[in-house]
Structure 1
Amino acid sequence: METIPPPQIFYVESTRVACDGEEDGVAGHPRVWLQMGSEGSADCGYCDRRFILTGGPADPR
């Protein structure tokens, strides 16, 4: 049985971020803008990347 890898996590300094799914030459998706709410994180609906506001409530560090 194959396991699904966890989503990539990016720590960012802004509550509004753009995601186009492209990094290291991997095929991407249309650029979408994501707005974080009071939880301090946002997930991309295309590629499941998670963006966490540095120092925000969702930052586990």
Structure 2
Amino acid sequence: MTQAPETMFVRTRRIACDGSGDGVPAALGHPRVWLEIDESGYVECGYCDRRFVLVGGPADKGEAKAG
């Protein structure tokens, strides 16, 4: 069974993803891409399927951690 893609909660609509994180250095990720969150309140990276959810947006179901 494969793991579900990671979900990141962000506070800006324009974000960059390079596949790094969770112990993966940027050099082993993918090329940096800039993504824009639309009115849906989220965007998914086409390389690694990581989902970026705008805190307080329509896709934020109260799962975002305060801070």
1:23-42 matches, cutoff 5 A = 23-26=21-24, 27-42=28-43
* Offset, 1:25: 3.6
CA distance in 2, matches of 1:45, 1:32: 9
Aligned to 2:3: 5
Q: Give the aligned residue type for 1:35.
A: E
Q: Which runs of 5+ in 1 are unaligned?
A: none
Cα offsets for 1:7-57 (capped at 9, x unmatched): 100000001100000114412100000001100100001001000000000
Aligned to 1:60: 61
Give the TM-score normalised by the residue count of structure 2: 0.82
CA distance in 1, matches of 2:31, 2:20: 10
Moved over 4 A (4+): none
Q: Which runs of 5+ in 2 are unaligned?
A: 63-67
